[in-house]
A and B are shown apart, each in its own frame.
Chain A
Amino acid sequence: MAIDHECSCSKNPLVPTLCKVIDVKQETPDVQTYTIQTVDGKKPFSPLPGQLAMISLLGVGEAMFSITAQGDDYIQSSIKRTGLLTEAFHEMQPGQQIGVRGPYGNHFPIDDFKGKDILFIGGGIGIAPVRSLIRYCLEHREDFGHLDILYGARSMNDICFKEDCLENWPKAPDTNVYITTDVPSEGWDGHVGFVPSYIEEVGFKPENKKVALCGPPIMITLSSASLLKMGFKKEDVITTLELRMKCGIGKCGRCNIGSKFVCLDGPVFSLAELDELPDEK
């Protein structure tokens, strides 16, 4: 007596939709942004900020990436070269066909963010998921209070989304942008220093503020410590996790932390929620 199926999807969730890369943009020496459409020119799906896509380079492999932006007929994902698969992604030219399935996972709690000031903190490629949220907030500008964007990259060359960071976002209404680089670089006259100390230096006030924090694990750990020291509450600091994923639908097993699956119950968690999980991130 098999139990009733509980399904929210009309098709096989493990089979990707055939899509094509219509644009490749070199963001930094090791990050590229791909603009993706279905082969018949449509948007593959409409993700909420923070959600993930399983992108498959047919014949090579597939992996989970955050969706950094979307338009009426496309989604965008920014991928850093770190292993064999992403190495192959970086060989792609416009026209390349890929498989895409998703969107997966939960999303930033936009409803909780409404009416609040928001502090966005990104480190390295961690700015990619944050950007989806920034774009959402700017598109629905009247729903949110003051916006602060703090982004740290290794050097000037490693700043992703330069147009947004250096031109578009600073011009956005009631928005402050703080960019820092880990090391000084020629031609960079902005702030130099690591993200956690910059957060303290600027001295953001915790009142009526939500934080979206993404980046490499060590930066998240240290930045969280800084924020807590400054009086932010664990419930108000929202971050994303990255673990190895294969199925994306909570079946294949590997992305669990305790009884939670990052692909299904995450990737977005508040620090308070992470406290409840075993230390295995």
Chain B
Amino acid sequence: MALSEKDIELKIREEAKKALATGEVSCVIGWTTTRFPDKMKPFFAETEAECDELVWNKYCINGTAKYALDDRYPSKKFAIIARGCDSRAINRMLKDKQLLRENLYIIGVVCDGKENPICEECQHKNPLTYDVLIGEPVPEQIDEKRFAEVEAFEKLSPDEKYEYWAKQYDKCIHCYACRNACPACNCVECYADQYRTGWQGKASDRIQNQVYGLTRAFHVGDRCIECGECERVCPMGLPIMRQTRKMLKDINDLFGDYECGMPDDAMPVLGGYTLADPDEFM
């Protein structure tokens, strides 16, 4: 029988306490309440008492994995409450050599989808990598409509596409929330923070905003785990996933079925090169 929300919450607290009790873990990264019932915030339980503040409900939306990057050389392990998406984020950061597996203790939780539209398209509700698992694995769904939105968009004329994105990026306030929430954006120093090089202007205008959006989409490239955090955190509501999905669709078209953050040893699509790679522009 599937565990209830409350059961999972209690199990999370129990596993969190166990993890801290080993003495090898500095904190457990999960969620806790705010004064608003529909906002659960990332929370860092460092004591047994704080473990009882950890919660599990449909508003536990924020990604947890990326906080592990706050300390790349930790003296103790981070314990991370990881849903399917968080586990994929961890896998990708491991593959990018931004994290060491031995610095992580992963408490996997089977996720039933959150109050977040992206969860309806989720293909991995079961955590893919974990040290301990809470909940019974559920059958995974294949999202047939994964690229439907991109396909429809591809039919527009170049002018229509430009018009669409120009309007979107006119709203952009250049806050970098999409980048900072994104587990694929795990560079030690982002190109966009290197203002003195002149790659990226700081002014928030149509041109600089678009340069940033486009560059980020390309940089994320094959690293998007489709968690939708970029879109969720955007204060101005830009449909950012439409860009990263387009990258994924092209990668799928060119290199075959691909998903990022799987627990395999395969080289990331854009991280390797074979003679069979398509290169029609050469």
Contacts and interface: CB of A to CB of B under 8 A. Distances in A.
- On whether A and B touch (CB less than 8 Å), the answer reads yes
B220 to A, nearest CB: 27
Nearest to B197: A84
A84 B197 CA distance: 8
B155 interface: no
Interface in B14-54: none
A85 B195 CA distance: 12
Interface string A49-83: 00000000000010000000000000000000001
B145 interface: no
Contacts of A84: 196-197
A83 B196 CA distance: 9
A61 B202 CA distance: 14
Interface residues of A, number: 4
B201 to A, nearest CB: 13
A83 to B, nearest CB: 7
Nearest to B194: A84
Interface string A206-236: 0000000000000000000000000000000
Interface string A90-113: 000000000000000000000000
Interface string B190-218: 00000011000000000000000000000
Interface in A142-182: none
Contacts of B197: 84
Nearest to A84: B196
Contacts of A83: 196
Contacts of B196: 61, 83-85
A220 B197 CA distance: 31
A85 B198 CA distance: 12
A249 B156 CA distance: 50
Interface in B150-207: 196-197
A140 B196 CA distance: 42
A33 to B, nearest CB: 24
Contacts of A61: 196
A83 B197 CA distance: 11
Interface string A32-62: 0000000000000000000000000000010
A48 to B, nearest CB: 31
Nearest to A85: B196
B103 to A, nearest CB: 29
A61 B197 CA distance: 11
A146 B197 CA distance: 48
A58 to B, nearest CB: 15
A81 B197 CA distance: 16
Contacts of A85: 196
A68 to B, nearest CB: 25
A85 B196 CA distance: 8
Nearest to A83: B196
A61 B196 CA distance: 9
A67 to B, nearest CB: 24
A83 B194 CA distance: 12
A260 to B, nearest CB: 26
Nearest to B196: A84
A14 B196 CA distance: 20
A63 to B, nearest CB: 11
A252 to B, nearest CB: 12
A216 B197 CA distance: 25
A61 B198 CA distance: 11
A61 B195 CA distance: 11
A84 B196 CA distance: 7
A238 B196 CA distance: 33
B197 to A, nearest CB: 7
B196 to A, nearest CB: 5
B242 to A, nearest CB: 35
A84 B195 CA distance: 11
A158 B184 CA distance: 45
B195 to A, nearest CB: 10
A187 to B, nearest CB: 37
A273 B106 CA distance: 49
B106 to A, nearest CB: 36
The 5 closest A-B pairs by CB, nearest first: A84-B196, A83-B196, A85-B196, A61-B196, A84-B197
Interface of A: 61, 83-85
5 contacts: A61-B196, A83-B196, A84-B196, A84-B197, A85-B196
